[in-house]
Structure 1
Amino acid sequence: MLWFLLLFCGLSLAEEGANDPETQSCFPDMCNLLKEVGAMSEKIKSLETRLQDSETRLQVSETKLQNSETRLQNSESQILELKNKERTKVIFSTAVGEGEKHIGPFTTDTTLIYKTVITNIGNAYNAATGIFTAPVAGVYYFTIFFHAGWKHKTSLHLYKNSEVKLSTSDEDTVTNRTDNGGNAGYLHLQQGDQVYVRLFKNSHVWGNGGYTTFSGSLVTQM
């Protein structure tokens, strides 16, 4: 368009002022001015292109910055989650605590209630029901031990919800005046899972002191 304007201007001036001295003296200045305008127009286009490139690079930089901020937020969330996991402590240790007597035998399977609470960090064990309820998902370690006399057998089973996971037992004998046994293992629990010990029918355990115990702890949170 600029070159067309220059051509048109030149033709017009040539037709109208071919014999006009004043017009002839002005024509070179007008052409130079148009050339300068053209050069300025090209510079403006170049600046506009460079500005667009700068805006594009700025948008890319902003996107990268946003991605970096997102990764930083994710990292902070992961660190906070790990810290929360480290703060979660679950440890309990209990004993039957029924005095100088045996518990059982009963005619039906019975949930043992360990009334003597030695340790209950996290308050996940309920001394009124004998049931441990997992406060968080994770891997837990449990132990059960018993002491009993010889007149009746002993059969203890550790349950996760309604499923037997660990067992320990001893048959009644005349020659062996006392019976002792135990078991231990790791259980993967979800939040709200319940763990407890049942004394099977026609069996018994000794209730005094810390002989018959039920303990557990959170090993790692999942």
Structure 2
Amino acid sequence: MNLYLVLCLGMMGLRLSSADLDLSDLKRELDEQKERLAVLEKELGPNTSPAKNPAVLPELLTKRAQYGYDTVVFSASLNVPFDSSRHNSPIPFDTVTINEGNGYSSATGVFTTPRDGVYMFYTSVAVNGDDAVHAQLQKNGVSQCACTSTHYGSGSCMVIIPLTVGDKVFVKEVFGTHLRAEHLTTFNGMFVI
């Protein structure tokens, strides 16, 4: 009986040592999750929201990257009027506000997917004068959504689509010639999940 008791206590000791290791791993993981939660809480906090205070955005993006969040987001607009009589080519949105992940090229007007996932894209087109404009947001040359604008108006479309590395997304004017600048014609995209 004493031998049985010694064996049982010995086995329990091994289990306790293993449990101690498991607890330390769990504690470390919990601490990491607390740090990530703090980053998210800061993003959602009333005084640190990027929507209310754009100056906090670079700091938040840096912290997100530090904790393993890969951010892909861009926002571009036309600052210079664009005469797209060429049609069939991407609109080169020349003013880039943000390009985290470096997927958008203002030289070509094309967003090249840097990582697989689901993305959201939004475009808005405005027209000069009595002209009319019809534009398409395209993935690899295939229309995903379209918008129309007439008589100093604007039109927009949004799409959520899956992409793989290397896919090309852009806005192409298919009808009309005079897109309005002054940052009224825009192209935006972001990684969702």
TM-score range, shorter chain: 0.5 to 0.7
Structure 2 residue 169 is matched with structure 1 residue 155: no
Structure 2 residue corresponding to 1:97, chosen from 79, 83, 89: 79
Indicate if the aligned counterparts of 2:136 and 2:146 stay in contact, CA closer than 8 A.
Answer: yes
Aligned length: 166
Give % identity.
20
The amino acid of 1:128's aligned partner reads: A
Partner of 2:3: 48
The Cα shift of 1:156 comes to 0.8
The amino acid of 1:96's aligned partner reads: L
Alignment gaps of 5+ in structure 2: 40-63
SS of 1:58's equivalent?
helix
Alignment gaps of 5+ in structure 1: 1-45, 171-175
Partner of 1:206: 179
Q: Give me the whole-angstrom Cα distance separating, in 2, the residues matched to 1:193 and 1:76.
A: 37
SS of 1:117's equivalent?
strand
Indicate if the aligned counterparts of 1:137 and 1:190 stay in contact, CA closer than 8 A.
Answer: yes
Q: Give me the whole-angstrom Cα distance separating, in 1, the residues matched to 2:190 and 2:172.
A: 19
Partner of 1:37: none
Aligned ranges 1:97-176 → 2 under 5 Å: 97-99=79-81, 102-106=82-86, 109-136=88-115, 139-149=118-128, 153-170=132-149
Q: What TM-score do the two structures reach when normalised by structure 1? A: 0.56
Q: Give me the whole-angstrom Cα distance separating, in 1, the residues matched to 2:30 and 2:75.
A: 37
The Cα shift of 1:211 comes to 2.5
Map Cα deviations across residues 45-70 of structure 1 (whole Å, 9 max, x no partner): x5433322221222232343344445
RMSD: 3.6
Q: Give me the whole-angstrom Cα distance separating, in 2, the residues matched to 1:48 and 1:61.
A: 20
* Structure 1 or 2: more helix by fraction: 1
SS of 1:110's equivalent?
coil
Alpha-carbon spacing, 1:55–1:147, altered in 2? closer, same or farther (3 Å)? same
SS of 1:158's equivalent?
strand
Alpha-carbon spacing, 1:79–1:186, altered in 2? closer, same or farther (3 Å)? farther
Q: What TM-score do the two structures reach when normalised by structure 2? A: 0.62
Q: Give me the whole-angstrom Cα distance separating, in 2, the residues matched to 1:217 and 1:190.
A: 14
State the structure with more CA Rg. Answer: 1
